[in-house]
Structure 1
């Protein structure tokens, strides 16, 4: 486990901890991943994951990496800035009896990217919206994907802008340094396409957009 932290990662670790993390895990055990994550998991499984490797950046309690291991992924690396989420994911791995197929990296993915290395599938589920500067994160993470690269992030709509503005106004009132950021889809996609990918799946709901990219031949 690598211990690499930055100011944003410290805010993430503080926000996604304790009662919040336990509540989300309880909900996951009851009803599974949320709708957007389920859509992404299904889209990836359709591409055949048997024997593939996975890097789940900001993997949280493990909805993506646990489900994809069940679907045939041979090994999953989870990089996350929340120590409580990592603890929960380990617990879930033990419950599912596939802990031997998991490895964890705690802290700032960018600081440990070279150590963590690449994977056939790289996923970032609701991660880039936690970082002000998404360009380096998207560039490095997509460069480390050899087959598929997947993102879930907020749609660029007036209502998401309003919700994010409201949330960012409220967080400091509760003593939280965590913030949410809205990144233009075109800017995100231009980086991914520049690293040799093309869009192979798209889905959106009122808040989130789910995009799966495949490496061009």
Structure 2
């Protein structure tokens, strides 16, 4: 993998063990609240027959739910292969194997390596990648209709949490780092690639933003 990201740092953080836990949690409880919000937002904007590109979808719970709700196909991109076994098992259990395509690809360094999709999703991903413009810009360039992303709120509390996490991973000798980005920076990247933030929802820690192409953008929420 070229560019700024060392895949060993991600392999040490997003391990096969963490993939097992995520798959087990989905089987028992379904989607976590933030992922469920993303699904509802995608359904609200229209998912029937759509192609989905999810970046950093892990074991695939979110895009499996979108397929169950009418999406045609889903492609998932990961930086490392640690999720693949559990993701394949979940897709098989839900009978959706033939509609899911998974690849190990750094979209920021190879934006042409995957076909555009009607809907692009980045759930808790932009906080995990050092080059916001590279990753989010490439994702926006792949979105035909809608892009939905979630990211940490930019405030002293979340910045403190990320600082503690980064100190801990540094002590463990890992290169992975987490990032908190101001919404203005995120929106600037989206707008530079022809998308307009149409809806934003702010939670205690996480925010959700849905962006559509300017020509089809809904009125911005107050």
For residues 5 and 14 of structure 1, what CA distance do their matches in structure 2 show?
Answer: 18
Shift of 1:84: 2.1
Q: Which runs of 5 or more residues in structure 2 are unaligned? A: 216-222
1:102 maps to which residue? 100
Q: 2:91 aligns with which of 90, 93, 96?
A: 93
1:198 maps to which residue? 196
Instruction: Using structure 1 for the length normalisation, give the TM-score.
Output: 0.92
User: Secondary structure of 2:58's partner?
Assistant: coil
Q: 2:122 aligns with which of 121, 124, 128?
A: 124
Shift of 1:24: 1.9
Q: Which runs of 5 or more residues in structure 1 are unaligned? A: none
Instruction: Using structure 2 for the length normalisation, give the TM-score.
Output: 0.90
1:46 and 2:44 are equivalent in the alignment: yes
Equivalent positions of 1:201-216 (< 5 A) are: 201-216=199-214
Instruction: String of CA shifts for 1:40-67, please: whole Å, max 9, x gaps.
Output: 1111111221111011011111122101
Q: Pick closer, same or farther for the CA change 1:118–1:104 going to 2, 3 Å.
A: same
Q: Pick closer, same or farther for the CA change 1:92–1:43 going to 2, 3 Å.
A: same
1:31 maps to which residue? 29
1:133 and 2:128 are equivalent in the alignment: no
Compute the RMSD of aligned alpha carbons.
1.5
Q: Which moved more, 1:29-38 or 1:153-162?
A: 29-38
Q: More relative contact order in 1 or in 2 (CA 8 Å, sep 6+)?
A: 1
Q: 1:165 aligns with which of 158, 163, 166?
A: 163
1:152 maps to which residue? 150
Shift of 1:5: 6.1
More helix by share: 1
Aligned partners of 2:55 and 2:78 also within 8 Å:
yes
For residues 8 and 184 of structure 1, what CA distance do their matches in structure 2 show?
Answer: 24
For residues 98 and 50 of structure 2, what CA distance do their matches in structure 1 show?
Answer: 15
User: Secondary structure of 1:109's partner?
Assistant: coil
Shift of 1:176: 2.5
Q: Once superposed, which parts of structure 1, at least 4 consecutive aligned residues long, lie more than 4 Å away?
A: none
Shift of 1:134: 0.6
Aligned partners of 2:107 and 2:138 also within 8 Å:
no
